[in-house]
Chain A
């Protein structure tokens, strides 16, 4: 990350000659071997797939004389550095769902951007600590390379390490014969301290560069890292570890605020605590609330809704109980509000569900709001949630039998059959 090559040149000819004679660095001590949960989880996905290893070594340009020995060139042990690079390369190569879903750039774009073979540099490990994840070197009189330092392999896992690779590659892609492309000065209050670590943002819209054509379109170091991290967080494949997603989202947003001089104008992902919450719009924070909601909805006695503690759950209860949309208006959770608009007046306006962001909840809403003509609960993955969805969609309480949680089962029986006596079984 640091523009080390520039610094080196400034130190004078003697130190450069020494440096030239010493490069490439020989094998020595290695970074401490550790493994984080998501590093292991990702490793388990490909499980040391040799065909990929044989492809990524030359494409990203990792060479055995740098990565052998205790760096792990020949191992399938994800505590070692080389397998960790393997994990990151694997994520860059396969980790994004492209199609028309909408990441900023495609996996092919990111592969080419980070690949040493495409930009005349190689990756090397470096037993160095502690101020950088990696350091890029570029210029006429140095070996073009990215040194991956120990902080990249300890407490930092595959997804954000992949972001580091893209970041470092950018230093070199836009470098010149005198060195790498350096960071810009920091904003006041930056967390970087005295060293420059911030970048400009080269604004572009979605679809500005069709997938596969990113090369040649300027992005700063932090910018490409942010775009990748956010793409990984929001458009990662189903097998990508959840902790990878949550870290990538957190780091993308942190860098947007702390490492960019001219903010890009967007933020990464929803600010919901658990990014993919339950698909079921009828979840309650207490048995008491579920009990009251059941009496309200099943018996169509809206006064039961009055004492529900959670505002959204209370208004949903009023809407469902009175079959009117107006109570939904004051709900604060947008997804629940749209579900309320749709389900409260079923089977008339399932289009209210269109803009629900969560795919599972959207399907739940479509199904219940249309009584099965616009959805069949097939997108609701949890068996218990699906059973409730089907019971409400087809107004058939026999679906409720499979629900494992007793309270949820009685809620389902009551609301699907509109028989409030079931609600008495809910433990408060």
Chain B
């Protein structure tokens, strides 16, 4: 603070000059010209209607998700295709799935359900996963999603390998998500697949993650997955309360914010959680900039 005061005094003489660098102006549509500072914007705050987007908004050939092609690739596989054959199919299949939208998910789910029957699907998917570069987080998440959703006990080894891979060290100065954060996200997806198996062996493996994994985020995500895959039952919660140290108890019965939830039930559970575990932060600073773009 002392530095700030001295600095403020020392810079008083620069005030007029500095004023020129004050509020950046909203820009007019005439690109390339900087308008003077204005308090009243010259543009509308209402965006164009989405329905009015130009009619040429369609994908170019080869870029679109093609449901029929996806189904055909899987249908063309013989009932017990070899690992190699499944892998060849995945070379076509996965790029299509990477292009899928939310609206395409039922088709993706349908294809995964079909793949699930292929004895070689787990090994083929594991091979694909190993070929992905470390920085391809989105594709690694998708492949692990499929591997988990297939709900095949022979996927346990692959999932186990991902979950227990060594994590990068915490970085000294990293305000963005670190490599460690991203790898934890990957390991969480693998834990979700493990918990989804819902077999005694898989349950034991998930409990091991909950108890021993080095990353808090992976542990608390394993708790959530374990609860969900046991119907969020009070008995499962009681089991985890016995298993876990007290500082992890707050993660056992968190409500899930999700599409299709009962909003009143979510609110009831969240309120109950807050009463039991919640703490309020100190007051936040007051907003210095109001919604009109002017400085208070």
Contact = CB atoms under 8 A, between A and B. Distances in A.
A54 B229 contact: no
A75 interface: no
Nearest to B293: A120
Contacts of B295: 120
**SS of A interface (majority):** loop
A201 B262 contact: no
Interface residues of A, number: 162
Interface of B: 3-4, 7, 10-11, 14, 17-18, 21-24, 26-29, 31-32, 34, 41-45, 47-48, 50, 52-54, 56-60, 63-65, 71, 75, 79, 95, 97-110, 112-114, 116-117, 119, 135, 137-139, 141-142, 144-153, 170-178, 180-181, 184-185, 188-189, 192-193, 195-196, 198-199, 216-217, 220-221, 224-225, 228-232, 250-251, 254-263, 266-267, 270-271, 273-274, 277-295
A17 B12 CA distance: 12
A239 B57 CA distance: 12
A271 B221 contact: yes
B137 A118 contact: no
A193 B170 contact: yes
Contacts of B112: 274, 277-278
A337 to B, nearest CB: 7
Please list the 9 inter-chain residue pairs (A to B) with the smallest Cβ-Cβ separation, ordered nearest first: A273-B148, A200-B281, A238-B103, A274-B149, A218-B284, A271-B225, A64-B31, A265-B273, A122-B24
B189 A332 contact: no
Given A275-B145, A287-B79, 12 more contacts: A37-B138, A51-B48, A59-B45, A118-B292, A175-B289, A191-B174, A253-B185, A257-B217, A263-B277, A276-B108, A290-B117, A382-B106
A9 B4 contact: yes
Given A195-B174, A312-B198, A61 B29 contact: no
A61 B26 contact: yes
Which residue of B4, B147, B175, B216 has the most chain A CB atoms within 10 A of its CB atom? Answer: B175
B48 A52 contact: yes
Interface in A29-69: 36-38, 40-41, 44-47, 49-52, 54-59, 61-65, 68
A131 B199 contact: no
A359 B260 contact: yes
Interface string A253-271: 1100110011101111111
B43 A58 contact: yes
B11 A332 contact: no
Given A58-B42, A258-B217, A238 B102 contact: yes
Contacts of B103: 238-239
A90 to B, nearest CB: 9
A90 B274 CA distance: 35
A174 B287 contact: yes
Contacts of B250: 263, 265
A284 B180 contact: no
A300 interface: no
A203 B281 CA distance: 9
15 contacts: A9-B7, A16-B11, A52-B47, A61-B27, A218-B287, A236-B102, A239-B102, A250-B141, A254-B177, A276-B105, A283-B116, A285-B116, A285-B150, A333-B229, A382-B106
A91 B23 CA distance: 27
Given A50-B54, A193-B174, A278-B112, A265 B274 contact: yes
